[in-house]
């Protein structure tokens, strides 16, 4: 990764920031994006303190125009793009029956359309460098999760899009990896949207028992450099994908009962 240019969307915290350190420590030049300039500045300061070359660009991934501008700014700064990591994402937590449908639209705009916009704008440059695309998806992209209908829908869409794109690009030299972490200790749950569109503000799960963002980032880099097509993390994640294929009726009840135990779960 020495001197490779890596764009990471949604990189001011969590898995995104951990990926910036992971690839930056391999010698890559890092471009981090996000909506909150203050958080980006803080992340960039941490990266520079670790002697990682970094450029920050304020960009709302749900905006096609801002995403196009971000790609062009990267080209103006570095002249190339070697890897695009689509990490920007948001979750939601609400029963579908009572959710404001704008919440599902917002989740889809960031998680799915954000990936589409970035890939479309960056692809000509990635073909020039025979670079790569990584999509940070989720186990929820293989197995629908109750109380997270919009999140699951966005990740299912992301998985299908990346699989189709990977196949289109078979003879171009551009590699596509779909990475699906299980539950990871990050701020995605406290920053998730509830039914009325407001922020949850706190996690509903035991964060200390989860895989760390740094462990996830390390596994993703290794999978990308090994040119894997998909990466499903954690034993629980692998088991869930397997059981959903062969015993999905039984898994419906298992998933329901497991998520019913979450703090303040609306499931009864």
Catalytic residue among 117, 151, 224, 256: 151
**Which of 76-92 are b and which e, b meaning 16 or more Cβ less than 10 Å from the residue's Cβ?**
eebebbbbbbbbbbbbb
pLDDT at 75: 98
Name 232's bridge partners.
180
Residue 144 and residue 92 in contact, taking contact as beta carbons nearer than 8 Å: no
C-alpha span between 99 and 64 (Å, rounded)? 26
Q: Report yes or no on 102 lying in a domain.
A: yes
Give Cα separations from 265 to 94, 144, 211 (angstroms): 9, 16, 22
Domain count, the chain: 1
Alpha helices in 130-181 (DSSP H): 149-168
Which residues constitute the domain of residue 114? 5-236
Q: Are strands 92-93 and 54-58 parallel, antiparallel or unpaired?
A: unpaired
**180 close to 137: Cβ distance less than 8 angstroms:** yes
Residue 197 is part of a domain; what is its CATH number? Answer: 3.40.50.720
Token output for 105: 């639209």
CA distances, 144 to each of 115, 125, 171, 184, 226 (Å): 20, 34, 33, 17, 29
Q: Single out the residue of 51, 49, 61 nearest to residue 16, CA to CA.
A: 61
Q: What is the dihedral of CA 20, 25, 27, 30, to 10 degrees?
A: 10
Is 261 within a domain? Answer: no
Structure tokens at 157: 């869409």
| Residue 260 maps to a domain | no
Please give the pLDDT value at position 189.
46
Tell me if 72 is assigned to some domain. Answer: yes
Residue 246 placed within a domain = no
Question: How far, in Å, CA of 224 to CA of 143, rounded?
Answer: 23
Q: Do residues 192 and 154 touch, judged by C-beta distance below 8 A?
A: no
- Tell me the mean pLDDT per 10 residues along the chain, length 268: 96 94 97 95 96 96 97 97 96 91 95 97 98 96 92 96 97 97 65 69 57 92 96 90 90 88 82
Q: Give the separation between CA 70 and CA 139, rounded to whole angstroms.
A: 29
Whether 224 is catalytic: no
Residue 263 lies in a domain: no
Kindly report the backbone phi and psi dihedral angles of residue 180, in degrees, each rounded to the nearest multiple of 5, phi listed first: -120, 90
Instruction: Please indicate, yes or no, if residue 168 is contained in any of the structural domains.
Output: yes
Q: What's the pTM value of the predicted model, to 2 decimals?
A: 0.89
Residue 258 lies inside a defined structural domain of this protein: no
């Amino acid at each position: 990764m020495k001197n490779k240019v890596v764009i990471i969307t949604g990189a001011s915290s969590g898995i995104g920031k951990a990926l910036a350190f992971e690839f930056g420590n391999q010698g890559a030049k890092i471009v981090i994006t996000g909506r909150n300039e203050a958080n980006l500045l803080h992340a960039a300061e941490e990266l520079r303190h670790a002697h990682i070359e970094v450029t920050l660009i304020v960009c709302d991934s749900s905006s096609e125009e801002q995403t196009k501008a971000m790609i062009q700014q990267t080209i103006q700064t570095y002249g190339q793009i070697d890897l695009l990591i689509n990490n920007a994402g948001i979750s939601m937590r609400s029963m579908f029956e009572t959710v404001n449908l704008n919440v599902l639209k917002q989740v889809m705009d960031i998680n799915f359309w954000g990936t589409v916009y970035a890939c479309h704008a960056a692809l000509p440059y990635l073909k020039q460098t025979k670079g790569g695309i990584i999509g940070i998806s989720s186990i929820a992209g293989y197995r629908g999760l109750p109380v997270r209908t919009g999140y699951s829908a966005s990740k299912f869409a992301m998985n299908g899009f990346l699989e189709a794109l990977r196949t289109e690009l078979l003879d171009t030299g551009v590699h596509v990896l779909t990475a699906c972490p299980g539950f990871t200790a990050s701020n995605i749950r406290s920053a998730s949207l509830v039914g009325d569109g407001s922020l949850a503000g706190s996690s509903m799960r035991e964060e200390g028992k989860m895989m760390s963002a740094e462990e996830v980032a390390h596994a993703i880099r290794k999978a990308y450099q090994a040119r894997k097509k998909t990466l499903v993390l954690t034993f629980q994640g692998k088991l869930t994908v397997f059981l959903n294929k062969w015993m999905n009726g039984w898994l419906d009840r298992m998933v329901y009962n497991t998520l019913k135990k979450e703090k303040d779960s609306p499931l009864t």
